Amino acid sequence: MKNKTKRLTAIREIITSSVVGSQEELLQLLLEKGYELTQATLSRDLKQLKVAKTSNASGEYVYQLASLEKEREVRATVFTSGQVLQSVDFSGNIAVLHTRPGYASSLAYEIDENGKDVFIGTVAGDDTIIAIIRERVTHEEVMKNLSIFIPELTK
């Protein structure tokens, strides 16, 4: 059933981009997007997606993706947007990476996760990452490593 997959994606999009307080409300939004389903199905969908109902700072009830799921969404968005990493410079055993404003932390997180072989650690500001290169690792190796998980460098 191909429709279900698309519907689940639509549900994710809706609840990440707007405040939805009940299944009836969400159901309405889905209907407007052309998805025909009942509250029973929606309840099952939400369970499967691990959507949580909680309250926000304004004291309203809201549906939201479970924290882990949400992180993954955000990360995926950052990566696919394709303009995050803007430059890489070296000075001895230090690499300085410039990113779009605000993106340094999330990129540094990825580097921490995937670049342990070449870096011993990173510190991120707002648009700059200082990454300390492991001893005896060359700049070429660093670039190669970065290119693995950051498409922009392949160009």
User: Which positions lie near DNA, rule CB under 7 A?
Assistant: 1, 3-4, 7, 22-24, 36-41, 43-47, 53, 61
Q: Does 16 help bind a copy of itself (rule: CB under 8 A)?
A: no
C-alpha to C-alpha distance for 71 and 65, rounded to whole angstroms = 9
Partner whose footprint covers residue 155, from a copy of itself, DNA, none (CB < 5 to 8 Å by kind): none
Q: Is 94 in the site for a copy of itself (CB under 8 A)?
A: yes
Residues 6 or more apart whose Cβ sits within 8 Å of residue 86? 98, 99, 100
Site string for a copy of itself, 47-86 (x = CB under 8 A): xx-xxxxxxx--x-x--x-xx--x----------------
Is residue 69 a contact partner of residue 50, using CB atoms and an 8 Å limit?
A: yes
The one of a copy of itself, DNA, none whose footprint includes residue 120, by CB under 5 to 8 A per kind, is a copy of itself
d(CA 95, CA 152): 17
Cα–Cα nearest to 22, from 55, 81, 56, 62: 62
Q: Which is nearer to DNA, 41 or 93 (CB)?
A: 41
Q: Give CA–CA dist 17/6, Å, rounded.
A: 17
Give the helix/strand (H/E) hosting 55.
strand 51-55
Task: Say which entry of DNA, a copy of itself, none residue 145 contacts (CB below 5 to 8 A, set by partner kind).
Answer: none
Q: Which residues bind a copy of itself (CB under 8 A)?
A: 47-48, 50-56, 59, 61, 64, 66-67, 70, 89-94, 96-98, 105, 108, 112, 120-126, 128-130, 132-135
